[in-house]
Amino acid sequence: MSAADAAPENLPLILFSRTARPALKEQAAVEADLLDALSTRAGAEVWVVPELVDLPDVDPLWEQLAEIRRAFSIVSRLHPRAVDALLTERKVLPGAAKYFQGARRVNPDTTIAEFAKAFPTVGATGSPARVVRLDARPLRRRWYPLIDRKRCTCCGQCYEFCVFGVFERAVDGEVVPVQPDNCKPGCPACARVCPASAIIFPDCPDDPVIAGAGGPPRTSEPPSAVTCTCTCCDRGADNDLDGLIEALDALDD
């Protein structure tokens, strides 16, 4: 079944992003229980989609989602600010009417109860539930920065800091991640120098704000003090120029 077979717009629409990371088996199990519960509830249409953060920038599914003309809700393991930035970047707006970060719970019963509280209208009608499966394909795991446009001040520190050509400045001064997959997996160094905490790495394990959690901006660090968490660019405390040159040369190999 495809999104083109969608039910009439009087049914609430829920976008369910499934976890596919091997290291997140516990969260995937919680999601499976929640999806089973949703499938038995009346009065909703559920689109099961892959990990949104792993979808290629140009993908037919983004086009389908961008054509949605009604408010929809999202179930995902990612922080709400990360999902909002992702939908904004892919021009899927207006975005979610409601959001449920269900996969970060570890108790399926609690998760289902919390979902029922967050979505009291789901199950309130006699119409059958519809589940549209759009997730039947493997995706390459991705690590790349998203920009929270509500926080970004276009200061350009990320653009000046990055040595991998991830960012460019547009004519209007806006910083754009034009080569997001040039970013080195596991390294959120540019987010640590951002004074507005506008750069999001949805899978960052060490800092919830960088991962997209709410709250005030974290304390930024001066570029000279930021040590990359990878060995990709040798951005250590000494800011070794030879290491940076070697890293740039490696990009051409």
- CA–CA gap between residue 242 and residue 239 (Å, rounded): 9
| pLDDT above 70 for 192 | yes
CA angle centred on 140, ends 14 and 198, rounded to 5° = 65
Total-model pTM: 0.79
139 falls within a domain:
no
| pLDDT above 90 for 75 | no
Alpha helices in the chain (DSSP H): 25-39, 60-66, 80-89, 108-118, 157-161, 189-193, 208-211, 241-251
Same domain, 237 and 151: yes
User: What's the total number of domains in the chain?
Assistant: 2
Same domain, 166 and 215: yes
Same domain, 197 and 241: yes
- Judged by average pLDDT, the poorest of 102-111, 144-153, 163-172 is 102-111
CATH, residue 101: 3.40.50
Boundaries of domain holding 201: 146-251
Residue 1 binned pLDDT confidence (cut-offs 50, 70, 90): very low
141 falls within a domain:
no
CA angle centred on 197, ends 247 and 141, rounded to 5° = 55
Per-residue model confidence as pLDDT tens digits over 81-108: 898 899 888 888 655 555 566 545 445 5
- Whose tokens are 């039910």? That residue is 7
Same domain, 112 and 21: yes
First to last CA, the chain: 43
How much is the pLDDT for 178? 94
Same domain, 38 and 117: yes
Of the two residues 120 and 35, the one the predictor is more confident about is: 35
Q: What percent of the chain has pLDDT over 70?
A: 70
Last residue of a domain, one of 112, 133, 154: 133
Same domain, 84 and 17: yes
